[in-house]
Amino acid sequence: MIDSQKLLERFLTYIKIDSQSDPNSEATPSTKKQWNIANLLKEELEKIGLQEVTIDDNAYIMATLPSNVEHEVDTIGFISHFDTSPDFKASNINPQIHENYDGGDIVLNEEQNIVLSSSYFEEMKDYKGQTIITTDGTTLLSADDKAGITEIITAMEYLVQHPEIKHGKIRVGFTPDEEIGRGAHHFDVEKFGATYAYTMDGSQIGELEYENFNAASATLKFHGTSVHPGYAKNKMVNSMYMAQRFIDVLPKDEVPEKTEGYEGFFHLSSITGNIELTELKYIIRDHDKAKFEARKQLMQDIVTKMNTSIDEANISIEVKDQYFNMKEKVEPIKYIVDIAKQAMKELNITPILKPIRGGTDGAQLSYKGLPCPNIFAGGHNFHGKYEYVPLESMVKASEVIVKIAELTAKQ
């Protein structure tokens, strides 16, 4: 149904445009270079025949595919982000195309001995015989989420070219800065005007997600007293040791590297310090709202206890909520998940319903009034040099979009 070669060419064009976001910038978009792909995408949407194509001052893009049926149909949306992760190099991407993949290791960079190992990344074997797109081992691929962008535009182009496929009004939205947690911050849900939407930002083929972590950040500051070490007895307070005592009190097994599925965690993401001041930064995650609140309270309680029971303790903590589990907003209209499941099944794709062990624009959008499950975009090993995406998965994702549009018109 979908022209895989044309989809591939589109994807390769997008990933070669550096559009990394920057968590240290307060601007929106956080980097000026995101405008390069944003302006290209606006032109692409106009070129394929969408209407009401707009780009606002923050680089949020919206467009419309008008309904081609006379009866009333829910307006639905498809959303992806065009920024790429700041975690790894994203400029001068040199993609490698591996046709008829044999199921074994893929040498990404012979000179640097960088190998994409199928024994380590075992899911690679599921794509034997397919076309695999990888990096050259020196950059990320940017399939997160330029695969999703590609799939949406390709699906919209197909629907424009095939008016015999009946559908209601469809809205398309592309956002900056998702990778730094701000993708939905300036998204105008009212202007978008959809009843519900789907983000195309999942991983392996078949993924369908409507649950994600509740998320918060915690910043702790441990204040010490610096004294010459030769004269420090009963005077020096080493803030780094105080921070270590706090770390030791938290549950040892409730960390990312020891949890999976619905299990939550405390994640120490950075430490900076000296004798006078040590700062710990944590992220707190849990799918269960009550357990999430208990995690935040536990950290507060530990700080309170240390401050009251240790004479030299001087500790402060700031906890900030980041996003919440979209399940609460999606479950009341769970038929939108069922439509996506049916679309996949009609395309011989096995739906994989699983909780997201992370966040998504869809979570924030759901709480802004736009329920928004997440559908696979096909990529694996995001945010690093081992990132790859099977071409066939991207084709299937585009076909799922088309099928959802078709099924919605039949509701």
CATH number reported for the structural domain that contains residue 199 in this entry = 3.40.630.10
Looking at the structure, tell me whether residues 178 and 223 fall in a common domain.
no
Strand pairing report for 207-209 and 96-98:
unpaired
Task: Report, as an integer, the average pLDDT of 378-394.
Answer: 96
Residue with tokens 């699906």: 155
Pair 13, 67 in one domain: yes
Does the pLDDT of residue 401 top 80, yes or no?
A: yes
pLDDT of the residue at 273? 97
Residue 228 corresponds to which tokens in the numbers above? 């010459």
- Is the domain of 173 the same as that of 244? no
Q: What is the CATH number of the domain that holds 279?
A: 3.30.70.360
pLDDT band at 105 (very low <50, low <70, confident <90, very high): very high
* CA distances to 39, 42, 87 from 35, in Å: 6, 10, 20
369/388 same-domain check: yes
pLDDT band at 181 (very low <50, low <70, confident <90, very high): confident
pTM: 0.88
Residue 321 among the catalytic residues: no
Same domain, 159 and 203: yes
Alpha helix (H) residue ranges in 250-332 = 289-309, 327-330
Average pLDDT value over all residues in the chain: 95
- Token reading at 36: 């390069």
pLDDT at residue 92, rounded to an integer: 94
Neighbouring residues of 361: CB distance < 8 A, sequence distance ≥ 6? 79, 81, 175, 178, 183, 184, 187, 199, 201, 372
Q: What's the whole-number mean pLDDT along residues 149-171?
A: 98
Number of domains in the chain: 2
Range of the domain at 276: 214-323
Residue 178 known to be catalytic: yes
Does residue 363 carry a pLDDT above 80? yes
How is residue 322 written in tokens?
A: 């980041």
Percent of the chain with pLDDT over 70: 100
| Average pLDDT rounded to a whole number, residues 4-17 | 97
**Structure tokens that stand for 60 in this block:** 């949020």
Strands of the sheet containing 315-323, edge to edge, are: 265-273, 277-286, 214-223, 315-323
Residue 358 has pLDDT above 90, yes or no: no
Assess whether 96 and 133 both reside in one domain. Answer: yes
Of 267, 295, 323, the residue that ends a domain is: 323
Q: Which of 18, 44, 83, 177 is catalytic?
A: 83
In degrees and rounded to multiples of 5, residue 212 shows phi and psi of -145, 170
Is residue 411 over pLDDT 90? no
Residue 359 has pLDDT above 80, yes or no: no
Do residues 173 and 61 make contact, with C-beta atoms less than 8 angstroms apart?
A: yes
Per-residue CA distances from 228 to 224, 236, 240 (Å): 13, 8, 16
Same domain, 183 and 309: no
Distance CA 396, CA 109 (A): 29
What is the C-alpha to C-alpha distance for residues 38 and 44, in angstroms, rounded to an integer? Answer: 10
Residues 96 and 205 grouped into a single domain: yes
Q: Tell whether 181 and 227 lie within a shared domain.
A: no
Q: SS3 for 23-82, per residue?
A: CCCCCCCCCCCHHHHHHHHHHHHHHHCCEEEEECCCCCEEEEECCCCCCCCCCEEEEEEC
Instruction: Label residue 207 by pLDDT band (50, 70, 90).
Output: very high
pLDDT level of residue 360 (50, 70, 90 thresholds): confident
d(Cα 41, Cα 43) in Å, to the nearest integer? 5
Write out the two tokens for 224: 């010490």
Residues 315 and 381 in one domain: no
Task: Answer yes or no: do 247 and 376 share one domain.
Answer: no
Structure tokens at 107: 């040498």
How many residues belong to the chain? 411
Say whether both 330 and 309 belong to one domain.
no
Catalytic residue among 157, 178, 179, 207: 178
| pLDDT bucket at 361, cuts 50 / 70 / 90 | confident
Q: What is the arithmetic mean of pLDDT over 294-303?
A: 98
The residues near 107 (Cβ < 8 Å, ≥ 6 apart) are 114, 115, 116
- As a whole number, mean pLDDT of residues 313-335 equals 94
Give the pLDDT band (50/70/90) at residue 141: very high
Which of 323, 341, 368 corresponds to the end of one domain? 323
User: ∠ CA 209-204-138 to the nearest 5 degrees?
Assistant: 125
Do 134 and 108 touch, CB atoms closer than 8 A? yes
User: Quick check: 103 pLDDT over 90?
Assistant: yes
